[in-house]
Structures are given as C-alpha cells and as structure tokens.
Structure 1
Amino acid sequence: MQRFKSLLPQTRFSSRTLSSHPRSFSALPNYAQRNDEEEDSQNQILVEGRAKSRAAILNRPASLNALTTSMVARLKRLYDSWEENSDIGFVLMKGRGSAFCSGADVVRLYHSLNEGKAEEAKEFFKTLYSFVYLQGTYLKPHVSILDGRTMGCGSGISLPGMFRVVTDKTIFSHPEAQIGFHPDAGASYLLSRLPGYLGEYLALTGDKLNGVEMIACNLATHYSLNARLAWLEERLGKLVTDDPSVVEASLSQYGDLVFPDRSSVLYKFDIIDRCFSHDTVEEIVEALEKEAVESSDEWCLTTLRKIREASPLSLKVILRSIREGRFETLDQCLVREYRVSVQTISKNVSSDFVEGVRARMVDKDFAPKWDPPTLKDVSEDMVDHYFSPPLNELEPELVLPTALREPYM
C-alpha cells in the first residue's frame, strides 16, 4: 500500500490564490431563455440545501446518470453561483441510483452525429471541459461521493475536487478505446499522473478499478462502506464550516482503512511497467505477447484481448494523449482533448466513434468494423491530424479562463 501512495504525485487540484481580475458569475439560470431541455436538466440535476453547504445530485438513474449538455450547463451555473455565495462553505456531488455517473450520453451524441448535428456534440464537449476546469480550480472544498459506476467523464466532473469518497460499490474505468474515442474531460491529466504506467494500462484496456484500488492509487481520498453513507451525509449536512480540515475530519470519522487484496491489478505493477512503458502500441502488444509466453500468466492474455478489441486508431491517439498529458497543466490537457474530440466527431480520418457506439451500445452486436482495421494500417499522419492546432477558422480552439482561474500542475 505504501508503495502505491509513494509513487503517485499529489493528484488533488489544490486551490491557489486567483489573480485579482474581476470575475463574473451567473448566479441563476436565464429563465427568459429556458427551453424544454433546460427544464429537464432541473429534474436531472437536483439540489439539496444544507446548513452551510449545497449538494448537486445527478438524477438520471435509468441512464446511469449519463451526462447531457444541459445537465453539465446546469452544474456549471450552480457551481459558479455557489462559489460566489459567502453563505456556502463547501459543495458536495453525488449520483442517484446504482451509479455515480456512467460518463457522457454517447448514444445521444451518436444520434446527433448521424442526423448531421455535429455542432450539438461540440457544444457538449465545450460545456463539459469548461466545467471540469471550474471544478479543478474551485475555491471551496468539494466532496464527491463516487458510489457505484464512475466511468469516462464521470471522473472528470468529480475527481478534480478536494475530497473523493469511494465505497464498496465503486467501479472506476475509462473504456473509451472500446468505442473508438479517447479518455477526455481531463483524463489525460489524471491518468498520466498515476503510479508508473498504470494510466496507460487503464486507458488502453478500459480495465476497472474498485474503490479500494482507487484509495491505493490516491484517486480517492476516503473509503466508506455503502451502508455508512447515510450517516456520513447526515454528518456533513450539519457542518457549518468552510474549513477543509473540518470537512476532512468528518469524512475520516466514517471512513475505513482498506488495502487491495492479492488479486488486484495493482500487484501487477512490475509487468505493467515492463510492458506499458514502451513508446508505441505495437511495442506494448509485443511485450505483452512475450510476457504471456514466458510467464503463462492468464492476465497477459486477457489484457491482449482487451487491446485487440479496441479501435487501433484510438489506441494510438490515446497513448500519445497520455504521454503528452504528463508534461501539461490541466487547462492544456483540456484544450488538447477538445481538439482531439472535435477531430474525432468530424470523421475526417475515421468514423470509429460512431461505429464503436453503434456496435456496443445501439445495435449491440459487439462486432465493430474499425477503420483502419489494424495497428499497422494507422499512419503517423493520421494520429498527427488529431493533435495539430489550430483546427481552422470555423473550428476555434477551446478557450478557458486561465487569466481569471490560475492553472497549475
């Protein structure tokens, strides 16, 4: 356990003093422009008022709390107003039902793209990444309760916060490679800072971590049994404070001391580092094949299968994204991820995202026809296309308020 914690740089996006530039906050929605989707978002993002705090509740349990543009826009409006309100000391986020958040509503994005509404997809990414940056530079203590499935950008809207509570029900994963996409919403920042080459492993295979493993990797700060959450939330709801140490003490009061069991992938660190430290996906696959022959470890064969099921183009884009993320600030990662996302949905190089969602989530035949079909067919120029700035005059880059909200490593 100590080895895991000592290997990981501090991943909390700790607050710094912002510049003295004036900032504007939208305290309330613009009711004059409210439409049906915005009204739906009020039902899909619920608010609980407490003594000195507010709780945002993701409320699409039937869809595993998958995010839409209107949901993220409402979160941003709420968080802006709560940060400005001196009566609010800290903020909490949780999900309703069996999941915290299963990520983006990619089926909705799939239908938008098939209907020629690419601008709707771009607006989703722009809104989402802007909220992630707000979360990552938030001035007040933030508690995320990740009870249940936490996938894809579900981690982006929660893990940048100060306190991340996981439970015996938590399942964390980034399965984007299997649908022809890439880990986004700050994932290249987060995953690249995990111990060794664990981030590459998780991003390329889509493998899962449980709550105990997230504690060991410092992805989470506190562990609580699901059965104790009601007591923990009751305690937090009574706090009248903006002091992080007081919030932390309350979380620790209901916490549990846990260690990964021997079956955990975290005990595969030596193999992961040997295989996933290579410069190319082809070399990673070759190293895993060699390891499988020499060790007869079933884990190597399972890992190879997961990689071979993924989009070859996505695998190469993902590896480059994680490697670049190691040397970038959060805002730089988000700007680059936005560029990659826009290029992905533009289909200029490949339609793998639409094909991947079709195969796994729409038709569910689990037989995507990737284009290009193999790693050797993916050229360096194809990968470069996703990372080359600027997009063009009609495709502006993502602009984040770095002058007002200071980025940091």
Structure 2
Amino acid sequence: MRVREPLFSTDPPSSMRSTLPCFNSYFQAYKLHKLYKNWEDTPDIGFVVMKGSGNRAFSAGGDIVAIRDFVQKGNMEECKEFFRNLYNFIYVLGTYLKPNVAILDGYTMGGAGGISIPGTFRVATDKTVFAIPETLIGYHPDAGASFYISRLPGYLGEYLALTGARLSGVEMVACGLATHYSQSTNVPLIEEHLRNLITDDPSIIETSLSNFSDLHYPNNSSVIRRIEMLDKCFKHDTVEEIMDALENEAAKTNDEWCLSTLKNLKYASPLSLKVTLRSIREGRFQSLDQCLIREYRMTLQGISGQISTDFCEGVRARMVDKDHAPKWDPPSLEHVSKDMVDQYFSPISETEPELDLPTKQREAFT
C-alpha cells in the first residue's frame, strides 16, 4: 500500500486507496477530474481519500482573486474553462462509483463544499470552519451549493447562503454536512488506518471512521440551537421580508444573533442576496446536474459584468485591498429590479452553450 507520487500525476495509482491533497478548487478541477476518472476505472483502487495540503485548510477558495484578474483582463474563455472543469468534477464526484472520504481538517469555504460534500463521507474536526461567503464578495453560492445547502434542515440553508455565517465541525455533523467528527490530532491515525484498509465496501469504511469519531453536541450559542428562530425569520419569500423579520425580533429581544445576522446581510451585495435566495429556493426542487447547469449560467452572468460589477468590487474590497468597504451596484435592495434577477438565471447570450455534463454516460450512477 502506498500513496501515489507525484500526487497530481495523471497515471492511475496502483494502491487500493489513493490520497489526494486538495489545493485551490477552481484551478485544480481539471486534474481532480482526470485523476478521479482514472481511479474509478482502476480495479485495484477501492476508495479515494481527499485532504488538504497543509495544516490550516482543506480548501478556502483563494483562487477567486485570480479569476477576478482574468475577468478584468477580458479572459472570459479561461474563466469559463475553469468553471466547466470544476462543475464537471463535482458532478463526477456526486455520481462516483467508489466511496470517497474527504477529511475537512481546517477552513472549508466556498467551492470546498462542492468538491467534498457530494462524496460519500466527510470527516470534520475541531479545526474545521465551514462557510459559503459568496454574497459578501458580490457573488452567489455555486459549485453545487444550491443543491446541498437547500437540503439542510428547515431554512438553515437560506441562512448560511445569505449571510456567509460559519459553522464548526460539530455543527456540520449536527446538520448533516459532515458524516463524522474527530479531533484534529486523530487525523494522522485516520489516514494511516485508511492507508492500510483494503476494501471498496462503504460499510467497512463507515465502521473504520466511526472508530475514530467523537460524540459532541453544539453549544448553547450555536445556530443549530436556534432553528426555531432561524426558521421564523428566513422562511419568507423575499430578502426584504427576511430582514424585516430580523429587525422585529432584534427590536423585541435585542438578541445578539439577530443583530449580527442583520449586520452580515446589510454588508452583503444586495443583488447577490436576491439572486442567492432564488437559487436556494429553486435548488430545493432540482437534481445535482440541474443545479450545476443553472449555477453555470449564473456564474457567467455574475462575472461578465453585464448586469453588475459587484463580483470584481467584492473581491477587491475583501481579498485584494482588504478595506472591507465595497461599493455595490445596485447599492440597496430597493434598487435591485426583478429583470436584473431574472437575467442572472438566463443564458448569457443566444450563442453561449450550456454547461455540458456527462449525464447520459453516468445516468446509471445516480
């Protein structure tokens, strides 16, 4: 048994299990896609383990700055290729024939959810920090987020998608985003155990991971303990109604959670908030491939600048200049028209092809 080196070789490894560090999700998507396909077709590989390359993050989407640079230089074809590769890999992962174990030891943000949650097992730790903070950079939760986030209990998905709020590893397990929880110090033991495990049976892998799992419950301040209040506020049909509900609760109770949630919503891009709410609501009734195809449309609209330049402005404010003072356009919810939101969900042009996923080839996998 051995880990294949180099880790991004396109040659299939000969071990029963393969460990793959996950770097920046967008730029490595092509290599991930090719490796996973090779491993799926290799009989002596039973399952795949994906982990982060360092000790701070599984994947934190830092490549979004490079995408902004491509947009500003007019290199839209390169951007399209990045997202096509990413979304295709996510679809392959969601229909993968072999068990996949993602070890989410550290920051797991943005596209990191897309390249892990559609898989079989997700191991969170005390160092895990999960978030989908796209509305805070003038974007929308993508990479399959509208599929898996919309299926969380109650209206937790709307809350996470609109506010960019963070979850701990314990909270990820509690709401179903992760399948197992363990202390970060156990990760080397988990890796060693999986390295020596020869199987393609998910139940054996499940038992193995459970042997290293710890039982923890969210603390009293966790949003998981506030599902009733969260549902009361986020069940509404519009962002305006959601914010009004939070304002009313904050006025009555001076609740710190209501106040901080409102603060996040008021910071986010107004256009992104409205687009994101519709995306999550539509995703609840769509399959993974339908969500990815729709998100690809939304992504091209979002980065093209035809409707708004919020994406470039949000990345600038939060990740480049780091002044955290974005100038959104439109500047407020009342200035976001229905036509603008509708355009987000439309093809970018009559000649622009839709995202092409291998649905026919993999329909038996679903």
**Both proteins in one fold, TM over 0.5:** yes
Call closer, same or farther: CA 1:77–1:44 in 2, change over 3 Å. closer
Alignment of 1:3-402 (within 5 A): 51-58=15-22, 65-69=23-27, 71-97=28-54, 98-103=56-61, 105-388=63-346, 390-402=347-359
Contact 1:147–1:226 (CA<8 Å) still a contact in 2? yes
Cα RMSD for the two superposed structures: 1.8
What is the TM-score with the length of structure 2 in the denominator?
Answer: 0.95
Letter in 1 for 2:33: K
Q: Secondary structure at the match of 1:80?
A: helix
Per-residue Cα deviation, 1:378-398 (whole angstroms, up to 9, x for no partner): 00000000112x433431110
Distance, in Å, in 2 between the alignment partners of 1:408 and 1:156 is: 18
What letter is aligned with 2:312?
Answer: V
**What is the Cα deviation at residue 46 of structure 1?**
11
Q: Which runs of 4+ in 1 moved over 4 A?
A: 42-51
Give identity over the alignment, percent.
58
- 2:104 and 2:12 map into 1 onto residues whose CA distance is 17
What is the aligned residue count?
Answer: 360
Q: CA deviation at 1:103?
A: 2.2
Distance 1:124 1:189, change over 3 A: same
1:51, CA displacement in angstroms?
4.3
Contact 1:48-1:56 at 8 Å conserved across structures: no
CA contact (8 A) 1:50 1:238 kept: no
Partners in 2 of 1:327 and 1:137 — Cα distance? 18
The CA distance in 2 between the partners of 1:387 and 1:263, in whole Å, is 37
| TM-score, normalised via structure 1 length | 0.85
Deviations 1:84-135 (A, max 9, x none): 0001000010002210000261110111111111111111111100000000
1:20 alignment counterpart: none
Kept in 1, the 8 Å contact 2:10–2:34? The answer is: no
| Distance change (3 Å), C-alpha of 1:273 and 1:45 | farther
Gaps of 5+ in 2: 1-5
